[in-house]
Amino acid sequence: MRELVLECSGEQADILTDALIEAGALSACAQDAELDTPNEQPMFGEPGGDASPEGWAINRIVALLPDGLDPEQLLEHTGELVSFELSPKWHLREVPDEDWVKLTQSQFEPINVGQRLVIVPTWHREQAQTGNRVRIELDPGLAFGTGSHPTTHLCLKWLQTDMPPASRLLDYGCGSGILAIAAKLLGAEDVVGVDIDEQAVQSTQFNASANGAAVRAMLPDELEPGKFDVVVANILSNPLKVLAPMLSNRVRDGGHLVLSGILARQAGEVAEFYAPWLKLAVYEALDGWVCLAGQRKGG
Strand order in the sheet with 111-113: 111-113, 117-120, 134-137
Q: For the chain, what is the domain count?
A: 2
pTM of the complete model: 0.67
CA angle, residues 296, 297, 299, in degrees to nearest 5: 130
**Residue 73 CA from chain centroid, whole number:** 37
* Among 97, 128, 162, residue at a domain's last position: 97
Q: How many CB atoms lie within 10 A of CB 250?
A: 23
Please check whether residue 125 lies inside any domain of the structure: no
Give yes or no: residues 291 and 193 share one domain.
yes
Give yes or no: residues 156 and 93 share one domain.
no
* Among 38, 71, 97, residue at a domain's last position: 97
Instruction: Give the pLDDT of the chain (299 residues) as one tens digit per residue.
Output: 889 999 998 888 889 999 999 899 988 888 887 665 555 555 444 444 444 445 577 889 999 998 889 999 999 999 999 889 998 999 999 887 666 556 556 657 888 889 999 998 888 887 777 788 999 998 765 444 666 688 999 999 999 999 999 999 999 999 999 999 999 999 999 999 999 999 899 999 999 999 999 999 999 999 999 999 999 999 989 999 999 999 999 999 999 999 999 999 999 999 999 999 999 999 999 988 999 999 998 75
User: For residues 287 and 280, is the Cβ–Cβ distance under 8 A?
Assistant: no
Q: Is the dihedral of CA 122, 125, 126, 129 positive or negative?
A: positive
CA angle, residues 192, 169, 214, in degrees to nearest 5: 50
Which of these, 12, 22, 9, 119, lies nearest to 63 by C-alpha position?
Answer: 22
Q: How many CB atoms lie within 10 A of CB 231?
A: 25
Please give the span between the terminal C-alpha atoms of the chain, in angstroms, as a whole number: 67
Please check whether residue 126 lies inside any domain of the structure: no
Please check whether residue 116 lies inside any domain of the structure: no
pLDDT at 95: 80
Give yes or no: residues 274 and 200 share one domain.
yes
Give yes or no: residues 154 and 71 share one domain.
no
Q: DSSP letters along 166-179, please?
A: T-EEEEES-TTSHH
pLDDT at 140: 64
Give yes or no: residues 19 and 86 share one domain.
yes
Tell me the residue range of the domain where 211 lies: 143-295
**249: CATH:** 3.40.50.150
Please check whether residue 117 lies inside any domain of the structure: no
**24: CATH:** 3.30.70
CA angle, residues 24, 28, 33, in degrees to nearest 5: 140
Please check whether residue 109 lies inside any domain of the structure: no
Q: What is the DSSP letter of 33?
A: T
Give yes or no: residues 83 and 177 share one domain.
no
